[in-house]
Structure 1
Amino acid sequence: MEKTPHYESYVEILREELIPAMGCTEPIAIALAAAKARQALGMLPETCRVEVSGNIIKNVKAVTVPNTGGLKGIEAATAAGVVAGRPELELEVLSQVTPEEIAAIGAFLKDHEIRVLPMQGDRVFYINVTLLAGGHSACCEIMDYHTNITRIQRDEQVLFRKTPETDEEQEQTDRSVLSIEEIIRFADCLDPQDVEEVLGRQIEYNSAISEQGLQGGWGAEVGRTLLTVYGDNVAIRAKAAAAAGSDARMSGCELPVGIGSGIRNTGMSGSGNQGMTASLPVITYARDRGASREELLRALAVADLVTIHQKTGIGRLSAFCGAVSAGCGAAAGVAYLLGGRYDVIAHTIANTLAICAGMICDGAKPSCAAKIAAAVDAGLLGYEMYMHGGHEFVGGEGIIQKGVENTIGNVGRLAREGMRKTDQEILDIMVGR
């Protein structure tokens, strides 16, 4: 089959988005900055200063940092990066922490000052960790996305600065080439070998952490509760699989996940939760029907790219819950796996967004698992509505507009522009202002 016009770009987008990360990605990014700053300082710091944007505060406050003995928050992430971070591992910076280092992290947190300062300005994603000791200082600054280090400095010497030239070299593939119609045609003509490495890793990592969540003992056990209360049909198992991955991840499980779009981690969009939400329902349905590896990879490509496409207009961090975009992506992937193509998938997306596009993001925490279950449920309902009688929500009803791309654009506008004040109010409530 002839390849689509942007075939290579689509493959590259998947490679850029689907990278491994351990733990919730915002605290891991803080740990990465702290580890880089410690490396530049060359000694254990006496005091630490962490300047972060509001969305970082929101997404780190209530989540457990992996390999810290159950510690939560910005101070814990900073201490972990300083004491035990392996900066060369980027988003797996805390993946090799030893038991002795876990004890040292707790001791450092108890005995050293770590000041957290809100960043002044309206940048959504900003981290700057400054360490001081022996009359010297060192800092590492990260902007816009989790691994985008823009400056490393020791005293007055700038050791690294991201210039326009290096930005151009590292610029990500243009996401504006994405469309629902071409995503489906891309999946139809996909050579599975082109995505086996990245999607295979996503399947392996996300399945493993989901299994951990289903074994129990993590978070509010949303995944286990779904199976216990509602039974064992494939739709319930799909929701439970995604929720269980978040149960474990938000509570500090020391396994990496594939994130997704905003998809970084073997997750997306810089979000492991979104990567799990988009992928695990598709994986569950594929296993249930005995689908081939090739069928699974094609459907997973649809789920991931539909999620990335939606998140491109929304932005990496927002008051709009990313589980909605990923639940929508998961339903699109399931629809593709079950034989649906453009008409079915477009209506599935529109129906899903009509159902749950108002869900807010109030930070990373155990309740994300329940939101994930709700988003996947909405996606599967949107699909079944159309498959059983062609039922649909149509243009002019709320934010739904004729043409799936127009509806996706409306949701991006709602999340990016309309929910700015909501985002600030959420943060004010969380910090008691």
Structure 2
Amino acid sequence: MDHLLVDKKKVVEKMLALDVKVATGCTEPVTIALAVLYACRELTGEQLQKLTIRPSINLFKNAMEVGIPGTDYNHGVPLAAALGAVLAREKGITPGLNILSKISQCHFTSAKSLVSAGTIAIEIDYATHGLSVEAMALDHEGNTIVAVIKDGHDTLIKLEKNGQSLLTAKAPSVEGPQSTTGAKEQTQLTALRKELAALQYADIVSILPHLSEESRRHLLEGVTINSTMVENAISNSRGILKIGQAYNKLFKVGDKKSEAPFINQAIATLSAAVDARMSGFDMPVMTSAGSGNQGLTITLPLKIFAEVYQLPENILCEALALGHLTTSIAKAHTGTLSAMCGCVVCAGLGLASALTYLMNYQRNAQQAAFKISVEEVVKELECAIDIMVASVTGIICDGAKVGCSVKAVCSVSSAYHAAMLASSNIKIPETNGVLGSSIESTLSNLGKIASPGMIATDEQILSIMINR
């Protein structure tokens, strides 16, 4: 590999490590529960008198209707907060994106009691957009504890008791003291996303064949985790809509799954996974850029495509990396949470890029001494990304819920067709709409549509959701 790419490769691999993580349950209720857990751990005994949650517009929107693991399809911001308070009483709970992985019936019952008692107040922070939540706990001795998570789903940036900071620079532990490690990691992640977004796609594509074994193992682990989740979801009929099962029946996938067209398998599998996860299925998934649905959208269709067309594992790894990286770049422009659907738009762009990469290999691999042509791949990626931006820009995020499984179908269908058209060198003129003169400028324009362009849209979406 060219020595000039060595530092850029470090950025790519750090990005894959920090932005592709395991989580159980939708990450927005997890964030609320996590903020409350941090705050309530500092209470005197178990004497919680009042708990006030101040989520941003985007966080509240995504936590309203989505199922919470271990609660039998129940949902809601108060319940997520109550579970955080209940878990704060437990010993041995390590703060992180998996704190809702082992919710018992006892936890659920206690949480419902807290909600019924009127202990929890929700105050939407209409002035704040993006990912942010403040949890303020008051105990019977008059102590006030404030915890704030911001920008990253598990990034604690503030923890104070009676105005005094409780954060330390120590490594995080099961029982505290609390750590600034999360904030530092998120600062690094935010900076890395911006640094990644500044790279040329030619450099990113050039780096892919040189990914370390550690990065490749991590990427394949994500495929295994997400495949295990959806297999269990389907076999146990999880998911309120049962949309995956409906598609399997409509497409006649059934026992002859291996003979079904790729797109039919991908639609049925991905929609089943998202339906189950949004219903509160309590199995972990590998996320992408902070979202489990985005992680499912990247990994599951690519695994199926590689199986259907018998592509080598190393090429699948490279496509997975490209998919996750493109999603992270899109998020660098749009923000972690926005009025634009991350699954269709951001992960859709990632999937389209990755499928384009796989199709290029599939088309050319039979040639003697074949080697990926960076120039050819980048040309096709530009076509695919332009087609996606021209077709899905502006699709709204109206909160996390089981209906996201239908949007996932839109994502995989749009990405597949964009990749096929790109493979045929179909190029939309750069003078069309919000397209730019390069991949990088097009994605930058996409970000401007999300913010500031759709901030008022976000507010209107939430108004409709809470006033119907």
Q: In the alignment, is the contact (CA less than 8 A) between 2:167 and 2:180 conserved in 1?
A: no
Counterpart check, 1:317 vs 2:337: yes
Partner of 2:13: 11
SS at match of 2:390: helix
SS at match of 2:96: helix
Partner of 1:89: 95
The CA distance in 2 between the partners of 1:167 and 1:131, in whole Å, is 21
Which string of whole-angstrom CA distances, capped at 9 and with x for unpartnered residues, describes residues 122-174 of structure 1? Answer: 34222111222222332211112211111212234321279999966752323
Which string of whole-angstrom CA distances, capped at 9 and with x for unpartnered residues, describes residues 316-335 of structure 1? Answer: 11111111221221121122
Counterpart check, 1:357 vs 2:388: no
The CA distance in 1 between the partners of 2:405 and 2:200, in whole Å, is 28
Quote how far apart the aligned CAs of 1:112 are. 4.4
Quote how far apart the aligned CAs of 1:295 are. 2.0
Q: In the alignment, is the contact (CA less than 8 A) between 1:313 and 1:412 conserved in 2?
A: yes
Q: In the alignment, is the contact (CA less than 8 A) between 2:147 and 2:159 conserved in 1?
A: yes
- The code of the aligned residue for 2:239 comes to W
Q: Bigger CA drift: 21-30 or 67-76? A: 67-76
Partner of 2:457: 422
The CA distance in 1 between the partners of 2:416 and 2:182, in whole Å, is 43
Partner of 2:417: 381
- Aligned pair in 2 of structure 1 residues 102, 214: CA closer, same or farther (>3 Å)? same
SS at match of 1:160: coil
Q: Bigger CA drift: 340-349 or 49-58? A: 340-349
Question: Which of the residues 133, 145, 155 maps onto 1:148?
Answer: 155
Q: How does 1:26-425 map to 2 (within 5 A)?
A: 26-44=28-46, 45-84=48-87, 88-119=94-125, 121-135=127-141, 136-160=143-167, 171-172=188-189, 173=192, 174-191=195-212, 193-215=213-235, 216-231=237-252, 232-260=260-288, 263=289, 270-323=290-343, 324-339=345-360, 341-388=377-424, 390-425=425-460
- The code of the aligned residue for 1:241 comes to T
CA-based RMSD: 2.3
- The code of the aligned residue for 1:46 comes to Q
Normalised to the residue count of structure 2, the TM-score between the two structures is 0.84
Q: In the alignment, is the contact (CA less than 8 A) between 1:53 and 1:118 conserved in 2?
A: yes
Partner of 1:266: none
Q: In the alignment, is the contact (CA less than 8 A) between 1:152 and 1:161 conserved in 2?
A: no
The CA distance in 2 between the partners of 1:181 and 1:225, in whole Å, is 41
Q: Bigger CA drift: 238-247 or 16-25? A: 238-247
- The code of the aligned residue for 2:206 comes to R
Q: Bigger CA drift: 114-123 or 312-321? A: 114-123
Quote how far apart the aligned CAs of 1:257 are. 1.1
SS at match of 2:398: coil
The CA distance in 2 between the partners of 1:182 and 1:240, in whole Å, is 34
The CA distance in 1 between the partners of 2:295 and 2:117, in whole Å, is 37
- The code of the aligned residue for 2:453 comes to G
The CA distance in 1 between the partners of 2:261 and 2:164, in whole Å, is 60
Q: In the alignment, is the contact (CA less than 8 A) between 1:213 and 1:247 conserved in 2?
A: no
- The code of the aligned residue for 2:297 comes to T
- Aligned pair in 2 of structure 1 residues 330, 64: CA closer, same or farther (>3 Å)? same
- The code of the aligned residue for 2:94 comes to E
The CA distance in 1 between the partners of 2:356 and 2:211, in whole Å, is 17
SS at match of 1:131: strand
Which string of whole-angstrom CA distances, capped at 9 and with x for unpartnered residues, describes residues 10-45 of structure 1? Answer: 000000101111111010001111111121114331
Q: Which has the larger radius of gyration?
A: 2
SS at match of 1:205: helix
Quote how far apart the aligned CAs of 1:301 are. 0.6
The CA distance in 2 between the partners of 1:422 and 1:19, in whole Å, is 30
- Aligned pair in 2 of structure 1 residues 78, 22: CA closer, same or farther (>3 Å)? same
- Aligned pair in 2 of structure 1 residues 368, 178: CA closer, same or farther (>3 Å)? farther
SS at match of 2:108: helix
- The code of the aligned residue for 1:149 comes to L
The CA distance in 2 between the partners of 1:375 and 1:398, in whole Å, is 20
Quote how far apart the aligned CAs of 1:71 are. 2.1
Which string of whole-angstrom CA distances, capped at 9 and with x for unpartnered residues, describes residues 361-406 of structure 1? Answer: 1111111111111011111111212334x32322112222332222
Q: Bigger CA drift: 64-73 or 214-223? A: 214-223
Q: Bigger CA drift: 420-429 or 339-348? A: 339-348
- Aligned pair in 2 of structure 1 residues 70, 201: CA closer, same or farther (>3 Å)? same
- The code of the aligned residue for 1:244 comes to A
- The code of the aligned residue for 2:459 comes to Q
The CA distance in 1 between the partners of 2:184 and 2:154, in whole Å, is 16
The CA distance in 1 between the partners of 2:409 and 2:45, in whole Å, is 45
SS at match of 2:339: coil
What percent identity do the matched residue pairs reach?
Answer: 27
- Aligned pair in 2 of structure 1 residues 253, 421: CA closer, same or farther (>3 Å)? same
Q: In the alignment, is the contact (CA less than 8 A) between 1:34 and 1:129 conserved in 2?
A: yes
- The code of the aligned residue for 2:276 comes to A
Q: Bigger CA drift: 177-186 or 158-167? A: 158-167
- Aligned pair in 2 of structure 1 residues 15, 125: CA closer, same or farther (>3 Å)? same
The CA distance in 2 between the partners of 1:115 and 1:7, in whole Å, is 46
Q: In the alignment, is the contact (CA less than 8 A) between 1:213 and 1:223 conserved in 2?
A: no
Partner of 1:267: none
The CA distance in 1 between the partners of 2:132 and 2:55, in whole Å, is 5
- The code of the aligned residue for 1:358 comes to G
Quote how far apart the aligned CAs of 1:93 are. 1.1
- The code of the aligned residue for 2:197 comes to S
Structure 2 residues without counterparts, runs of 5 or longer: 170-178, 253-259, 362-376
Partner of 1:25: 27
Quote how far apart the aligned CAs of 1:213 are. 3.7
- Aligned pair in 2 of structure 1 residues 98, 337: CA closer, same or farther (>3 Å)? same
Q: In the alignment, is the contact (CA less than 8 A) between 2:69 and 2:103 conserved in 1?
A: no
- Aligned pair in 2 of structure 1 residues 177, 401: CA closer, same or farther (>3 Å)? closer
